[in-house]
């Protein structure tokens, strides 16, 4: 059998019946597509997260539940209220109501994941029905039977080996003549309890399934025709990038470009599976291919922006013991599974940046009082917010003379809080005041990329 294609559609692509219809066209246009991975319809996961947080009173819950039901009903109506799927969706909505009520009495991470996972379970039911109505032999697969994770609810880690075995056993026999429709973002631990992979995790799910099934390509369908040189809403001259390498795309995803979940490229890279990013609304516009190596390797490829950065500066209390200090600090952060983006150090202090909320599915803030208290035993902790991270992505940036002066000469009107340069040849990034970020990105794009 020729290598298969795994196609993933994001929330806006499955927001309503018309959008789902576009997805069906895209799926049917590529005969290699055997697996379709979906997000929840746009807005659904956010509503479920609100319910999972359990802070609403009965009336507030009813209002959110009504919004959820409206989204599902509109799609059901377009499909002509098919009996079986209508029943499944209504059963799911009933479960959501019960779980939301439980969450209002007592929230816990396991319950939250069960609740938050409902969005993908519903969107896939609806899309399977839509395909069947178009004459496709579509099979709805509960991904929890094949995506094995640990039990860290909210941001579970996938067991790649177990997932591979399960995928091959369960899906292998179906691949020949069925189109498999399954959920992104969710999985299950070895006790069968529902887990989630962190917000935006559907892209990552698609890549993991592609890896497990030795797929030949992955398509990520979203609402923009590919990865741009920068956010086109910020800079009008931003343009799509036809081809980009795994490393550059990984830097971009990590440092701000919202089109792709940062973890997506790990499985693709491990198995060298090319990834395509395009718009399900306008597939003819083309998109971006992400591959191991590309023909063009420009010095500057793109500029990414990530807002809501937190800068944490830790001053050692005892400068004569500075050698154990970094190990201690990173030990504490690791125990709390906090991932650090940028680091600069001096003899007695270390500055690091974190994302505002991390990417926990349940929206918990990353710097909890507990973490701050633990760090406080070792050092004086200073936390600054209102910052944004600007990253220039490209090739050989640390090897070519004059890169830093070229970049910073453009920005001499601005205060740069922290710079990371040299760790990767593909990335130069720095922290700026959130309020100046738009102007900075525009300036850089104008001078280096226009
Ligand atoms: N529905 C999930 C979210 O909104 C996962 C995804 O869309 O990738 O985060
Ligand atoms: Mg997404």
Using the atom order of ligand 1, give the atom closest to the CA of residue 198. 9
Query: Would the annotation count 10 as a binding residue?
Result: yes
Per-residue confidence band for 345, with pLDDT thresholds at 50, 70 and 90: confident
Numbered ranges of CATH 3.40.1160.10 in the chain: 5-223
Q: How far is the CA of 120 from the centre of ligand 1 (A)?
A: 8
Residue 196, phi then psi, degrees to nearest 5: -125, 160
Mean pLDDT of 57-77: 98
Q: Is 198 in the pocket of ligand 1 (CB under 6 A)?
A: no
Where are the extended beta strands (E) located within 228-365? 243-245, 275-279, 287-291, 300-316, 343-345, 349-355
pLDDT of 363: 64
**Is it the case that residue 94 has pLDDT exceeding 60?**
yes
Q: What is the mean pLDDT of residues 42-50?
A: 98
The pLDDT of 17-39, averaged and rounded, is 98
> Mean pLDDT across the stretch 404-409?
92
- H helix or E strand, kind and range, residue 84: helix 83-105
**317 alpha-carbon distance from chain centroid:** 37
Question: Where does CATH 3.30.2130.10 sit in the chain?
Answer: 301-449
Query: pLDDT value at position 1?
Result: 64
Please name the fold of domain 5-223.
Carbamate kinase (3.40.1160)
Determine if ligand 1 sits within 6 Å of the CB of residue 185: yes
Task: Judge residue 93's burial from the number of C-beta atoms within 10 Å of its C-beta, 0-12 exposed, 13-18 middle, 19 or more buried.
Answer: middle
Ligand 1 midpoint to CA 32 (Å): 25
Residue 381, burial from CB neighbour count under 10 angstroms (0-12, 13-18, 19+): middle
pLDDT in tens, 166-203: 999 999 999 988 999 999 999 999 999 999 999 999 99
From 10, 11, 259, the mutation candidate for ligand 1 (largest count of ligand atoms within 8 A of CB) is 11
Quote the CA–CA distance of 75 and 78 in Å, as a whole number.
5
Residue 342 CA to residue 262 CA, distance in Å, equals 15
Atom of ligand 1 nearest to the CA of 201: 8
Residue 102 dihedral angles phi and psi, to the nearest 5°: -60, -45
C-beta of 187 in contact with ligand 1 (< 6 A): no
0.85 exceeded by pTM? yes
Computed on alpha carbons and rounded to an integer, the radius of gyration of the chain in Å comes to 23
Q: Beta partners for 243? A: 289
pLDDT in tens, 264-321: 999 999 999 999 999 999 999 999 999 999 999 999 999 999 998 999 999 987 766 6
Alpha carbon nearest to ligand 1 atom 2, residue: 200
pLDDT of 115 over the 70 cut: yes
pLDDT at 360: 60
Across the chain, mean pLDDT equals 93
Query: Is 223 among the annotated ligand-binding positions?
Result: yes
Assign 218 to helix, strand or coil.
strand
Best residue among 116, 182, 185 to mutate for probing ligand 1, ranked by most atoms within 8 Å of CB: 185
Ligand 1, atom 6, lies closest to the CA of 200
Ligand 1 center from residue 185 Cα (angstroms): 6
Length of the chain: 450
Residue 410, annotated ligand binder?
no
Residue 331 predicted with pLDDT over 60: yes
Q: What is the DSSP string of 359-390?
A: T-TT---SS-HHHHHHHHTTEEEEEEEEEEEE
Q: Are the beta carbons of 186 and 117 closer than 8 angstroms? A: yes
- The pLDDT confidence band at residue 346, using thresholds 50, 70 and 90, is confident
Q: Compute the average pLDDT of residues 405-427.
A: 91
| CB distance 8 to ligand 1 below 6 Å | no
| C-alpha closest to that of 116 among 42, 58, 199, 222 | 199
String of DSSP letters for 329-351: HHHHHHHTTPPP--EEE-SSEEE
Q: Cβ(364)–Cβ(155) under 8 Å?
A: no
Which atom, in ligand 1's list, is nearest to the CA of 46? 4
Distance, C-alpha 141 to centroid of its chain: 22
Closest ligand by atom to 41 CA: 1
Whole-angstrom distance, CA of residue 46 vs CA of residue 124? 17
Q: Is 228 annotated as a binding residue?
A: yes
Q: Is residue 202 in contact with ligand 1, taking CB distance under 6 Å? A: yes
- Give the H or E element holding residue 197: none
Whether residue 48 has its Cβ less than 6 Å from ligand 1: no
Query: Percent of the chain beyond pLDDT 90?
Result: 82
CA 344 centroid distance within chain = 26
Q: Which amino acid residue places its CA nearest to atom 8 of ligand 1?
A: 200
How far, in Å, from the CA of 43 to the mean position of ligand 1? 9
**Atom of ligand 1 at shortest distance to CA of 197?**
5
CA of 199 to the centre of ligand 1 (A): 5
Least confident of 218-222, 249-253, 254-258: 254-258
Mean pLDDT of 400-424: 90
What does the pLDDT average to over 112-124?
98
Q: Assign 3-state DSSP to the chain and report helix, strand, coil percentages, each to 5.
A: 45, 25, 35
% of the chain with per-residue pLDDT over 70: 97
Ligand 2 center from residue 14 Cα (angstroms): 11
CB 304 within 8 A of CB 259: no
Over residues 106-133, the mean pLDDT reads 97
- Give me ligand 1 centre to Cα 116, in Å: 9
Closest CA to 261 of 36, 39, 26: 39
DSSP annotation of 158 reads B
CA angle 301, 304, 305 (to 5 degrees): 165
CA of 11, closest atom in ligand 1: 7
Mean pLDDT of 401-428: 91
Question: Ligand 1 pocket, 184 CB below 6 A?
Answer: yes
Q: How far is the CA of 123 from the centre of ligand 1 (A)?
A: 12
Predicted pLDDT at 326: 84
Instruction: Please tell me whether 233 is known to bind a ligand.
Output: yes
CB count in 10 Å sphere of residue 366:
18
Contact between 61 and 100 under an 8 Å Cβ cutoff? The reply is yes
Q: Which residue has the tokens 């992505």?
A: 393
Q: What is 301-449's CATH topology?
A: VC0802-like (3.30.2130)
Distance from the alpha carbon of residue 404 to the mean position of ligand 2, in angstroms: 33
């Amino acid at each position: 059998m020729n290598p298969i294609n795994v196609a993933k559609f994001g929330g806006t692509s499955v927001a309503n019946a018309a959008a789902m219809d576009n997805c069906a066209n895209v799926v049917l246009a590529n005969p290699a597509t055997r697996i379709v991975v979906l997000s929840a319809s746009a807005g659904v996961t956010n509503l479920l997260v609100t319910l999972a947080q359990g802070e609403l009173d009965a009336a507030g819950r009813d209002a959110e539940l009504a919004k959820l039901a409206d989204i599902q009903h509109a799609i059901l109506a377009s499909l002509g209220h098919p009996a079986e799927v209508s029943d499944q969706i209504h059963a799911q909505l009933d479960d959501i109501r019960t779980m939301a009520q439980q969450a209002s009495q007592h929230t816990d991470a396991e319950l939250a994941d069960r609740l938050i996972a409902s969005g993908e379970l519903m969107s896939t039911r609806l899309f399977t029905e839509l395909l069947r109505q178009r004459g496709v032999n579509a099979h709805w697969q509960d991904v929890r039977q094949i995506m094995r994770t640990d039990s860290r609810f909210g941001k579970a880690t996938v067991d790649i080996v177990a997932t591979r075995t399960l995928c091959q056993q369960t899906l292998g026999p179906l691949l020949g003549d069925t189109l498999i429709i399954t959920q992104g973002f969710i999985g299950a631990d070895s006790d069968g309890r529902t887990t989630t992979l962190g917000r935006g995790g559907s892209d990552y799910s698609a890549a993991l399934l592609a890896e497990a099934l030795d797929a030949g390509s992955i398509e990520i369908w979203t609402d923009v025709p590919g990865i741009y040189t920068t956010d086109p809403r910020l800079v009008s001259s931003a343009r799509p990038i036809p081809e980009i390498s795994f490393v550059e795309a990984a830097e971009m995803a990590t440092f701000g470009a919202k089109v792709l979940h940062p973890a997506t490229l790990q499985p693709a890279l491990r198995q060298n599976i090319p990834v395509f990013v395009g718009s399900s609304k306008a597939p003819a516009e083309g998109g971006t291919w992400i591959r191991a190596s590309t023909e063009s390797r420009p010095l500057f490829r793109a500029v990414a922006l990530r807002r809501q950065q937190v800068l944490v500066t830790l001053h050692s209390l005892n400068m004569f013991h500075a050698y154990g200090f970094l190990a201690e600090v990173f030990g504490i952060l690791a125990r709390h599974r906090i991932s650090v983006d940028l680091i600069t150090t001096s003899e007695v202090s270390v500055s690091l940046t974190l994302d505002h909320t991390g990417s926990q599915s349940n929206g918990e803030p990353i710097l909890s009082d507990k973490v701050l208290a633990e760090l406080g035993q070792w050092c004086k902790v200073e936390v600054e917010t209102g910052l944004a991270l600007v990253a220039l992505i490209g090739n050989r940036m640390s090897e070519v003379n004059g890169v830093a002066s070229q970049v910073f000469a453009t920005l001499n009107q601005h205060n740069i809080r922290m710079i990371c340069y040299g760790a990767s040849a593909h990335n130069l990034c720095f922290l700026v005041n959130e309020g100046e970020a738009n102007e900075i990105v525009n300036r850089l794009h104008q001078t280096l990329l226009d």
